[in-house]
Amino acid sequence: MKKLVLVFTFALSTVFSFAQNEGITITVTVDNLTSDKGVVAFALHTEDTFMKGAGIMNAESKIEAGKVIITFKNVQPGEYALLGLHDANENGRMDYRENGMPLESFGTSNNVMAFGPPQYDDAKFKVENEDLDLNIRF
């Protein structure tokens, strides 16, 4: 009987540990795109990766009727920021004018639009124990 209880307890704890590792889902919607050309790409960043290259999770989507929905699954609790780019010519990078101003639209979590490059402290948000739905403006 003790063995049966131990096996049942072990099985139950294993199931709950797998459920806890699944993480949170972040659904990002952009609904103000001015063109359906190209793709929208998003990168989920920690403070260590922000503005330094690829995020810890990356996703992209084709644009339909000026709108995209991108989902990040199995995100562990913590602090993050999102960077998004409308890559109209699908060259995989942000294009700039001669004066350094972006040619393609972009957005960040918290919809902070300031002069100069985005800052992590302005764009950061917390992932805790509930799925998140974020609307980001470009």
Nearest to 43 by CA among 120, 128, 130, 121: 120
- Full-prediction pTM beyond 0.85? no
- Confirm if 55 and 44 have CB atoms less than 8 A apart: yes
Q: For residue 70, which phi and psi values (nearest 5 degrees)?
A: -125, 140
Instruction: Report pLDDT for 22.
Output: 87
Count of CB atoms within 10 A of residue 138's CB?
20
Residue ranges per domain, the chain? Answer: 23-135
User: What are 46-71's pLDDT values in tens digits?
Assistant: 999 999 999 999 999 999 999 999 99
Higher pLDDT, 7 or 86: 86
- Confirm if 134 and 68 have CB atoms less than 8 A apart: no
Q: Topology of domain 23-135, per CATH?
A: Immunoglobulin-like (2.60.40)
